Amino acid sequence: EAGVVQSPRYKIIEKKQPVAFWCNPISGHNTLYWYLQNLGQGPELLIRYENEEAVDDSQLPKDRFSAERLKGVDSTLKIQPAELGDSAVYLCASSLALHPGLPGGEQFFGPGTRLTVL
């Protein structure tokens, strides 16, 4: 079974440029998550989707970040314009169930996209 796929794995851009990350979750997983991970820190949730609906986007900086999951499968996360402080690893995860305590609630993570903003 294929895991969570993310692309690109690495991205280097100059500040003020736009950037987009793509995620393909595990087949059949209705819940999709985007996390940000700074060096030496644990992942921080940016947004959580149940099918195509964003059920929790309270941590997403909406002035420059946007996300979509139009058909309830693949998702893209965009930053426009990027700032130096956006340099981090962006992780995508998926799960069968929305709530982690339910059967199927464990999250499966992709390898992440390492963004460097110069």
Partner 1 sequence: DAKTTQPTSMDCAEGRAANLPCNHSTISGNEYVYWYRQIHSQGPQYIIHGLKNNETNEMASLIITEDRKSSTLILPHATLRDTAVYYCIGPEKSSGDKLTFGTGTRLAVRP
Going from the C-alpha of 36 to that of each of 13, 66, 69, the distances in angstroms are 17, 13, 18
Least Å from the CB of residue 114 to partner 1: 9
User: Which chain residues interact with partner 1 by CB under 8 A?
Assistant: 4, 40-45, 48, 55-56, 91, 93, 98-101, 106-112
Least Å from the CB of residue 16 to partner 1: 28
Which lies closer to partner 1 via its Cβ, residue 54 or residue 81?
Answer: 54
The C-alpha atoms of residue 100 and residue 55 are separated, in whole angstroms, by 14
Q: What is the DSSP string of 71-97?
A: TSS-EEEEESS--GGG-EEEEEEEESS
Least Å from the CB of residue 110 to partner 1: 5
